[in-house]
Amino acid sequence: LAKTTQPISMDSYEGQEVNITCSHNNIATNDYITWYQQFPSQGPRFIIQGYKTKVTNEVASLFIPADRKSSTLSLPRVSLSDTAVYYCLVGDAPSNDNQGGKLIFGQGTELSVKP
Amino acid sequence: EADIYQTPRYLVIGTGKKITLECSQTMGHDKMYWYQQDPGMELHLIHYSYGVNSTEKGDLSSESTVSRIRTEHFPLTLESARPSHTSQYLCASSEQGAVSDTQYFGPGTRLTVL
């Protein structure tokens, strides 16, 4: 399973755009890139997922270059409530026998948004 | 919001007691997972299941055991709790055969063993 590397912490101010980059040099052909958000004392929550190029939803955008060895989560105009730990994961897509799907959570990036 | 529940949310118990942490989901997901997370640290997969009667050990060795008798239920048991078991335990589920494996997490159980 591919290992990911991301900054341990980042600081930002309300209203700014935040970009968190994740390295995954050993990503496999079948791996998807997924980002989760976790608030203290809660379980992680899915934010966005992609395979290549760009994905956008109502919460964030995910940019993936052609070589897929890194990805960047972009949070537009953050607010105080975006203060959380953000995890980048790469994981097996299910194989034909549906036995895939294990994910490895790294340390994550602790984002602190200040007023 | 995902429909996955964990009870109890908080548990303080003495050494040597047997405990069971409950996890239930109403989404009909075949895959379920247990993670262990210490404060400020990363999540570690300790058990997972691909469906009824399927259980596998995760990447982190754990003295706990799990069972999967029903699709919606994936309880975790510690036969004899010790202070080293103090941690947060997170349950998750995902859909079998999905194109990509989005996991839905429960709120967690914070276990303290005295």
Q: Does B90 touch chain A (CB under 8 A)?
A: yes
Q: So what's the pLDDT on residue A97?
A: 43
Size of interface A-B (CB pairs under 8 A): 65
Report the residue of B37, B90, B93, B101 to disrupt the A interface, i.e. the one with the largest count of A CBs within 10 Å: B101
Say if strands A109-114 and A9-13 run parallel, antiparallel, or are unpaired.
Answer: parallel
Q: Does B1 touch chain A (CB under 8 A)?
A: no
The predicted-structure confidence for B39-80, as pLDDT tens digits, reads as follows 888 889 899 998 999 999 887 888 999 999 999 999 999 999
Provide, as residue numbers in chain B, all residues whose Cβ is less than 8 Å from the Cβ of A98.
30, 50, 96-97
User: CB A41 to CB B108 under 8 A?
Assistant: yes
Query: What CA–CA distances, in Å, run from A52 to A18, A23, B7, B66, B77?
Result: 20, 14, 38, 36, 40
Q: Is the pLDDT of residue A108 over 70?
A: yes
Report the residue of B29, B44, B95, B100 to disrupt the A interface, i.e. the one with the largest count of A CBs within 10 Å: B100
pLDDT grade, residue B99 (50/70/90)?
A: low
Q: Does A6 touch chain B (CB under 8 A)?
A: no
Taking only Cα atoms into account, the Rg of chain A, rounded to an integer number of angstroms, comes to 14
CB A38 within 8 A of CB A84: yes
DSSP conformation class of B70: B
The residue among B54, B37, B73, B57 whose CA lies nearest residue A36 is B37
Q: So what's the pLDDT on residue A57?
A: 94
Average pLDDT over residues A40-51: 90
Q: Where are the alpha helices (DSSP H) in A1-115?
A: none
Q: So what's the pLDDT on residue A91?
A: 76
What is the distance in angstroms between the Cα of B1 and the nearest Cα belonging to chain A? 10
Q: So what's the pLDDT on residue A98?
A: 46
Average pLDDT over residues B29-44: 90
DSSP conformation class of A58: S
What is the distance in angstroms between the Cα of A65 and the nearest Cα belonging to chain B? 19
Provide, as residue numbers in chain A, all residues whose Cβ is less than 8 Å from the Cβ of B44.
105
